[in-house]
């Protein structure tokens, strides 16, 4: 071992032994270039020396230090050395050739996650130590650069053990400090200190308090080189990072740590201005706001969050690369809006909380509609699309209430909005846990075992009543409000709120939520979209509403839904003119060909009666199956993005389906209703955190439909046909109020006996006799006269109305 380095080891040990208690982490952080395997070995020898002298306290402390600096490493065999060294060299070569590009490095790591472990870290240290001792200066700096780039890549590698990745990164940063010394390479040394500090902050192994101290010491060391004068941008970045470390600090006085964090954030903002560095400005403002919020300094938190939101919305208005970039930006900053909502509530700025909820939700769709409505080709700033609370109240008449849900990190809240009042209900934290557990079970059963899901649905909805405390929330709606608009949040969009029982299901006739509101229960993605659909509905020509006309229907493209044929053919007789694309005629090509495409664009009533599906992994590939869409197997030479496997037996050619991507391109000029009489047409993407409403319904809202009927799960064509035929029959009876029509139709279907349904069928003038006989025969074979065949929610509750209730 080099005599000079050995002397440095001894001096460091002496400094650690003689320093005041608590300063050890700072000393270690300032000397990380010495913290290698050689140093650990010297520490162990020193520990034995002190033990022989009878100084057990110092000996034990040194033993603990050596253990801390030595990750638990399994026995390394000769075979391990050969295998791992070959892999290490391949990793470094790939890093060098790609200039540290993660897209090149990550596939190699993904194929070898079993080797990203303590053995890798130890052998990387050994190889680097041995190689760098005899390397030429230029070679040593190149190796240091490769190891540094690799360390930064593996620290963020998403697969495998995060704890192991961070330990490997720390090893790498410690190695390169022996190359990039402060004297010879001050800028690279400071960068390494900053990276090492970040790794310590993220470290999973070891004592958290000690890791934070190591991070603080390394950030502080970096700032000795990263001064504001010499490197202002780096200085600001490290100040922001140091503030986070002080905010999370365990040791020391809490009040002092908070003041140090505030000082560092404030310093960072001197450079990270909205004009110069808007992204960094927003992030630092968010961090500072979180600190103030955690300290219950809500006014200061409000001011910082407000500034951050202004910056974020300016950034959003400048995005030119498309909707996907905007969705990702919304996901990135969702936390900012949520925290602002929390702070508004803490300050009793309740109506402002609602306004920020609206600013955070369905932003892409709102902007698309705003752009279409204004006839402009430029993207409009989000701030111009916001809605104020008085405007929300003006959407309501005296008989209508809104229940808007919002999910926080520790609870969920229901905001009850009427024409003249706002009431807020808040759950307990345990309720949110119960809701998440309930939802996981609900979705797991639905995706894995639909028969069991159906058999348990009634009981599940009863559990949901208790978890949501729905009776308490409904009691807050004024009695004079007979119409209800539900605005769910995130995964709550998947739930049939209208069909949640308010009374026990063991009663003869359980009361469901929509039984409570005689004027109808509908849904809306947000208040802003409610405003758009209201305007759309108000602008429709109602002069000939009682003369049903301009229907375009898609009828059973797969030709395997017997009762769907009856449904469409019966409904269509009341519409003049009407056009039906039946069976093999219902192709995607036909929809794009004139005059069908013109009829599609100008239809007042659009009815899809076919198979539908929702793809949780690729929501934009969700859609409606048209003719010839099902293929027995995916062709070997097919573009993989063109075909989708929806279950064990079905592959779809997406070029022959009407996908959500396609629906976003449709323009409906005068459409009163899009009725999606198909499976899963009301489901949305719940995996992203952008609060965007991504599903088939959003596509038709974007297209211009005033009302939409959709489904929350897979439905059979038999009971769907009965419900749809009755729905269209009820339209004039309830003045074309879609939610009211749907609710009454659902109540009828669930309450009707077999004999009552047969009597209704016999009196239908617009259904063919043979079709009546087919349905009646099925009813008579399956059910007894006094039996209520469709009493359970599984038969009727899937259908919901996304409508502007007046």
- What is the per-residue DSSP string for 257-288? HHHHHHHHHHHHHHHS-TTT-HHHHHHHHHHH
Q: What is the DSSP letter of 20?
A: P
**Which residues, 6+ apart, have CB-to-CB distance to 698 below 8 Å?**
362, 365, 525, 660, 684
Confidence band (pLDDT; 50, 70, 90) for 310?
Answer: very high
Residue 274 pLDDT:
95
Q: Is the peptide bond before 782 cis (omega within 30 degrees of 0)?
A: no
Residue 404 bridge partners (DSSP): 415, 487
Rounded to an integer, what distance in angstroms lies between the CA atom of residue 628 and that of residue 638?
16
Summarize the confidence of residues 325-350 as an average pLDDT: 91
Residue 686 pLDDT:
85
Q: 628: closest CA among 661, 662, 589, 597?
A: 589
**What's the pTM?**
0.84
Tokens of 397: 């008449």
Q: Which of 161-165, 459-463, 707-711, 783-787 has the lowest mean pLDDT?
A: 161-165
Summarize the confidence of residues 511-523 as an average pLDDT: 95
Q: Is the peptide bond before 577 cis (omega within 30 degrees of 0)?
A: yes
Tokens of 680: 């899963």
Q: Is the pLDDT of residue 506 over 90?
A: no
Q: 692: closest CA among 556, 545, 406, 489?
A: 489
The angle, 0 to 180 degrees and rounded to 10, between the axes of the packed helices 334-346 and 278-294 is: 40
3-class SS shares of the chain: helix, strand, coil, % to 5: 60, 10, 30
Summarize the confidence of residues 354-381 as an average pLDDT: 69
Domain ranges of the chain: 3-69, 75-179, 272-386, 388-529, 540-801
Residue 140 bridge partners (DSSP): none
Rounded to an integer, what distance in angstroms lies between the CA atom of residue 388 and that of residue 417?
13
Residue 806 pLDDT:
57
**Which residues, 6+ apart, have CB-to-CB distance to 405 below 8 Å?**
412, 413, 414, 415, 486, 487, 488, 489, 492
Rounded to an integer, what distance in angstroms lies between the CA atom of residue 170 and that of residue 199?
6
Rounded to an integer, what distance in angstroms lies between the CA atom of residue 325 and that of residue 323?
5
Residue 10 pLDDT:
85
Q: What is the DSSP letter of 412?
A: E
Alpha helices in 31-117 (DSSP H): 37-52, 56-69, 78-98, 102-110
Higher pLDDT, 424 or 548: 424
Confidence band (pLDDT; 50, 70, 90) for 373?
Answer: low
Tokens of 363: 């932003």
Summarize the confidence of residues 52-78 as an average pLDDT: 76
508 — alpha (psi -120 to 50), left (phi > 0) or beta?
alpha
CB count within 10 Å of CB 109 equals 22
Confidence band (pLDDT; 50, 70, 90) for 637?
Answer: low
Q: How far is CA 180 from CA 144, 188, 219, 242, 664, in A?
A: 7, 6, 16, 22, 54
Cβ–Cβ < 8 Å for 144, 192: no
Q: How far is CA 775 from CA 677, 754, 799, in A?
A: 18, 11, 21
**Which residues, 6+ apart, have CB-to-CB distance to 641 below 8 Å?**
654
Which of 26-35, 699-708, 718-727 has maximum average pLDDT?
Answer: 718-727
Percent of the chain having pLDDT more than 70? 94
Residue 203 pLDDT:
92
Cβ–Cβ < 8 Å for 536, 706: yes
Mean pLDDT, the chain, whole residue set: 90
Place of tokens 């080189």: 225
Summarize the confidence of residues 697-704 as an average pLDDT: 92
Residue 700's φ and ψ, nearest 5 degrees, are -75, -25
Residue 289 pLDDT:
97
Tokens of 248: 């999370």
Rounded to an integer, what distance in angstroms lies between the CA atom of residue 752 and that of residue 746?
10
129-167: pLDDT as tens digits: 999 988 999 999 999 999 999 999 999 999 988 889 999
**Residues 194-212, buried b or exposed e (16+ Cβ, 10 A)?**
bbbbbbbbbbeebeeebbb
Q: How far is CA 310 from CA 85, 240, 305, 306, in A?
A: 51, 20, 9, 6
Q: What is the DSSP letter of 713?
A: S
572-585: pLDDT as tens digits: 999 999 999 999 99
Q: Is the pLDDT of residue 7 over 60?
A: yes
Strand arrangement, sheet containing 643-645: 630-631, 651-653, 643-645
Rounded to an integer, what distance in angstroms lies between the CA atom of residue 268 and that of residue 273?
9
**Residues 466-502, buried b or exposed e (16+ Cβ, 10 A)?**
ebbbbeebbeebeeebbbbbbbbbbbbbbbbbbbbbe
Confidence band (pLDDT; 50, 70, 90) for 722?
Answer: very high
Q: How far is CA 263 from CA 258, 285, 288, 343, in A?
A: 9, 13, 10, 22
**Which residues, 6+ apart, have CB-to-CB distance to 267 below 8 Å?**
228, 236, 239
243-286: pLDDT as tens digits: 999 999 999 999 999 999 999 999 999 999 999 999 999 999 99
Q: Is the pLDDT of residue 730 over 50?
A: yes
Q: 316: closest CA among 337, 289, 343?
A: 337
Residue 575's φ and ψ, nearest 5 degrees, are -110, 130
**Which residues, 6+ apart, have CB-to-CB distance to 521 below 8 Å?**
483, 484, 485, 486, 497, 498, 513, 514, 739, 743, 801
Task: Supply angle C-alpha 494, 497, 502, rounded to 5.
Answer: 145
**Which residues, 6+ apart, have CB-to-CB distance to 183 below 8 Å?**
none
CA dihedral (254, 260, 263, 268) positive or negative: negative
Q: Is the pLDDT of residue 489 over 90?
A: yes
Specify the long-range contacts of residues 408-416, CB closer than 8 Å, at least 24 apart.
Answer: 408/338, 408/341, 408/342, 408/432, 409/338, 412/489, 413/345, 414/473, 414/476, 415/353, 415/354, 415/357, 416/473, 416/476, 416/477
**Cα Rg of the chain, angstroms:** 33
167-210: pLDDT as tens digits: 999 999 999 988 999 999 999 999 999 999 999 999 988 888 88
Tokens of 187: 């800028």
Residue 643 pLDDT:
82
The SS3 of residue 407 is strand
Q: Which CATH number fits domain 540-801: 2.70.98, 1.10.10, 3.40.50, 1.10.20?
A: 3.40.50
Residue 414 pLDDT:
98
């Amino acid at each position: 071992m080099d005599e000079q380095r050995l002397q440095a080891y001894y001096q460091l040990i002496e400094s650690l032994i003689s320093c005041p208690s608590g300063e050890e982490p700072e000393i270690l952080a300032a000397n990380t270039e010495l913290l290698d395997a050689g140093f650990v070995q010297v520490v162990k020898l020193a520990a034995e020396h002190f033990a022989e002298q009878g100084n057990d306290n110092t000996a034990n402390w040194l033993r603990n230090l050596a253990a801390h600096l030595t990750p638990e490493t399994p026995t390394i065999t000769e075979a391990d050395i050969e295998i791992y060294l070959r892999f290490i060299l391949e990793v470094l070569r790939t890093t060098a050739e790609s200039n540290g590009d993660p897209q090149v490095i990550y596939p190699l790591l993904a194929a070898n996650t079993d080797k990203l472990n303590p053995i890798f870290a130890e052998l990387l240290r050994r190889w680097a130590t041995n190689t760098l001792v005899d390397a030429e200066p230029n070679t040593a700096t190149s190796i240091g650069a490769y190891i540094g780039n690799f360390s930064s890549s593996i620290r963020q590698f998403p697969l495998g053990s995060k704890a192991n990745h961070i330990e490997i990164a720390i090893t790498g940063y410690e190695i390169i400090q022996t190359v990039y010394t402060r004297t010879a390479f001050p800028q690279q040394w400071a960068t390494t200190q900053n990276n090492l500090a970040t790794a310590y902050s993220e470290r999973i192994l070891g004592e958290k308090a000690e890791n934070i101290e190591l991070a603080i010491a390394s950030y502080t060391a970096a700032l000795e080189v990263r001064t504001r004068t010499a490197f202002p941008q780096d200085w600001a970045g490290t100040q922001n990072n140091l503030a986070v470390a002080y905010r999370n600090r365990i040791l020391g006085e809490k009040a002092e740590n908070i003041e140090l964090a505030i000082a560092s954030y404030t310093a960072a903002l001197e450079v990270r201005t909205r004009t110069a560095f808007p992204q960094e400005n927003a992030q630092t403002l968010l961090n500072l706001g979180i600190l103030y919020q955690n300290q219950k300094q809500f006014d200061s938190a409000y001011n910082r969050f407000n500034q951050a939101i202004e910056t974020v919305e300016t950034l959003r208005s400048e995005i030119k690369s498309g909707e996907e970039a905007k969705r990702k930006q919304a996901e990135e900053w969702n936390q900012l809006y949520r925290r602002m909502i929390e702070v508004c509530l803490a300050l009793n700025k309740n109506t402002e909380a609602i306004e920020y909820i609206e600013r955070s939700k369905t932003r892409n769709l709102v902007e698309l509609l705003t752009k279409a409505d204004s006839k402009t080709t430029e993207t409009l700033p989000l701030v111009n699309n916001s809605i104020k609370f008085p405007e929300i109240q003006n959407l309501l008449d005296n008989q209508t209430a809104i229940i808007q849900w919002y999910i926080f990190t520790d609870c969920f809240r229901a905001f009850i909005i009427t024409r003249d009042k706002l009431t807020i209900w808040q759950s307990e934290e345990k309720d949110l846990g119960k809701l998440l557990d309930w939802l996981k079970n609900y979705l797991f059963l639905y995706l894995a075992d639909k028969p069991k899901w159906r058999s348990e649905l009634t009981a599940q909805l009863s559990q949901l009543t208790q978890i949501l405390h729905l009776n308490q929330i409904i009691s807050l709606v004024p009695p004079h409000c007979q119409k209800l608009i539900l605005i769910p949040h995130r995964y709550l969009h998947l739930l049939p709120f209208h069909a949640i029982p308010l009374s026990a299901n063991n009663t003869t006739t359980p009361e469901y939520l929509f039984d409570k509101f005689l004027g109808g229960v509908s849904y809306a993605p947000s208040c802003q979209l409610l405003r758009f659909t209201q305007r759309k509905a108000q602008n429709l020509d109602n002069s000939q509403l009682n003369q049903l006309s301009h229907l375009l229907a898609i009828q059973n493209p797969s030709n395997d839904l017997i009762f769907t044929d009856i449904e469409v053919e019966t409904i269509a007789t009341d519409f003049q003119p009407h056009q039906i694309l039946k069976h093999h005629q219902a192709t995607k090509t036909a929809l794009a060909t004139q005059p069908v495409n013109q009829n599609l664009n100008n239809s007042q009533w659009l009815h899809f009666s076919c198979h539908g599906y929702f793809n949780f992994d690729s929501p934009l590939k969700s859609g409606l199956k048209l003719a010839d869409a099902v293929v027995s197997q995916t062709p070997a030479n097919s573009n993989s993005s063109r075909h989708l496997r929806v279950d064990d037996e079905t592959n779809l050619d997406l070029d022959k389906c009407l996908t959500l991507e396609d629906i976003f391109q449709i323009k409906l000029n005068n459409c009163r209703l899009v009725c999606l009489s198909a499976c899963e047409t009301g489901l949305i993407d719940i995996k992203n955190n952008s609060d965007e409403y991504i599903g088939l319904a959003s596509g038709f809202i974007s297209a211009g439909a005033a009302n939409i009927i959709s489904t929350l799960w897979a439905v059979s064509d038999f009971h769907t046909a009965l419900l749809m035929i009755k729905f269209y029959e009820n339209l004039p009876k309830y003045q074309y109020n879609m939610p009211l029509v749907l609710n009454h139709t659902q109540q009828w279907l669930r309450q009707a006996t077999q004999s009552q349904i047969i009597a209704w069928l016999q009196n239908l003038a617009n259904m063919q006799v043979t079709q009546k006989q087919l349905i009646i025969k099925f009813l008579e074979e399956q059910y007894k006269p006094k039996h209520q065949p469709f009493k359970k929610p599984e038969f009727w509750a899937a259908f919901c109305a996304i409508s502007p209730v007046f």
